[in-house]
Amino acid sequence: MNNPYPYSDTNKRYYTFDYYTKHRFGGKCGKAPLDIGCGCPNKDGTCGTGGCIYCRDGSRSAVGESIREQYDHAAAVAARKWKNLAGMIPYFQSGTNTYGDPARLTRAWEEAAALEGAVMIGIGTRADCLGSDVIEALCHLAERIPVTVELGLQTAHDETARRINRGYDHARFLDGYTRLKTAADTLNGDSRKGYGRLSVGIHLINGLPGENRTMMLETAEITASLQPDLVKIHLLHILRETPMAALYEKGLYTPLERDEYCEIVCRQLEILPEDTVIGRITGDGMAEDLIAPQWSRRKTDVANTIDKMQAAENLWQGKACK
């Protein structure tokens, strides 16, 4: 195998999440998506209404099930799928998981941290919901168990952010990101990237309406300059009963083709730092709600295409990182 990428023991030329958990926790880890009914300030009128135009979050809420019930269910599914898991990662996924009463959030996070087999906590949220009290609570939690906070940037372009009704501009993102990253750096000391107590991740979405390849690569450049511990690259999914679905059905939006998407991801990986963990290289939408692009259902096909494109052109993560 002729693979020049250093953080890989397979044919992968990017820093997979499996490689990360193997080296940090000793093996593959399962994820337990959790919904604690946090809601979103972009839906309840606090900073906007209607939410991001592609969002179907909360349409099948698990609220009513306790954290333990949701976790046990996910852990049982993961154990059937993979043998000898090194642990589970409770992931506060639905809605904005740093929004609301900090005392209630802290209780939920602490409950998840105490679950048997939990090795790390994931918390998905918005950069405009990171008050100093919340950051303090996250640091406190991270003293007990490793924590990764994942922020939805999606795009660095303000005109796109307005078009998708994200509810904050890039300056606001940078403010939240920087305050959280500074707190994390202080807590982590000289730990290797991604291996500290508190890690910070950024989510990107390719194929947003009005964006071209150049804009998506610019978003990757700006993301690279922020030195996140983790990046998740998503494909825009058109889901039923969303404003994006209406645009698509009127012929006002054309999704990316598979190879077009894969080529953009290869270039973004080249731009990102070599030691940033890549948590995802395509979307993981709700299959039953997916209208388009249908090719995205074949996730293995997408991953294989990216592998082949990288190998054919001898590309790897970080090769073009400035």
Residue nearest to ligand SF4 (CB): 51
Measured CA to CA, the distance from residue 200 to residue 7 in angstroms comes to 19
- For the CA atoms of the chain, what is the radius of gyration? 19
Which of positions 264-283 make contact with ligand SF4 (CB under 6 A)?
A: none
How many residues contact ligand SF4, by CB under 6 A?
Answer: 11
- Candidates 33, 51, 196, 255: give the one binding ligand SF4 (CB under 6 A): 51
Cβ closer to ligand SF4: 188 or 223?
223
Query: Exposed e or buried b for every residue in 45-76, given b needs 16+ CB within 10 A?
Result: eebbeebbbbbbbbeeebeeeebeebbbebbe
C-beta neighbour count of 167 within 10 angstroms: 21
Which of positions 96-125 make contact with ligand SF4 (CB under 6 A)?
A: 96
Stretch that binds ligand SF4, among 50-58, 111-119, 248-256, 284-292 (CB under 6 A): 50-58
Q: Is 42 an interacting residue with respect to ligand SF4 (CB under 6 A)?
A: yes
| CB-count exposure of residue 81 (10 Å: 0-12, 13-18, 19+) | exposed
Measured CA to CA, the distance from residue 259 to residue 144 in angstroms comes to 43
Cβ closer to ligand SF4: 86 or 247?
247
Q: Is 57 an interacting residue with respect to ligand SF4 (CB under 6 A)?
A: yes
Stretch that binds ligand SF4, among 47-55, 107-115, 185-193, 239-247 (CB under 6 A): 47-55
Q: Is 52 an interacting residue with respect to ligand SF4 (CB under 6 A)?
A: yes
Measured CA to CA, the distance from residue 134 to residue 114 in angstroms comes to 20
- Candidates 30, 87, 95, 285: give the one binding ligand SF4 (CB under 6 A): 95
Q: Is 126 an interacting residue with respect to ligand SF4 (CB under 6 A)?
A: yes
Instruction: Give, in order, the Cα–Cα distances in Å from 49 to each of 42, 43, 97, 241.
Output: 5, 4, 18, 16
Measured CA to CA, the distance from residue 62 to residue 74 in angstroms comes to 12
Measured CA to CA, the distance from residue 44 to residue 35 in angstroms comes to 17
Least distance in angstroms from the C-beta of 46 to ligand SF4: 11
Least distance in angstroms from the C-beta of 192 to ligand SF4: 30
Q: Is 43 an interacting residue with respect to ligand SF4 (CB under 6 A)?
A: yes
Cβ closer to ligand SF4: 11 or 49?
49
Q: Is 55 an interacting residue with respect to ligand SF4 (CB under 6 A)?
A: yes
Stretch that binds ligand SF4, among 27-35, 36-44, 105-113, 313-321 (CB under 6 A): 36-44
Least distance in angstroms from the C-beta of 34 to ligand SF4: 14
The backbone region for 193, taken as left when phi is positive above 0, alpha when psi lies in -120 to 50, beta otherwise, is beta
DSSP state of 317: T
Stretch that binds ligand SF4, among 40-48, 236-244, 256-264, 286-294 (CB under 6 A): 40-48
CA atoms within 13 A on the CB side of 182: 8
Residues of this chain that bind ligand SF4 (CB under 6 A):
40, 42-43, 51-52, 55, 57, 95-96, 126, 152
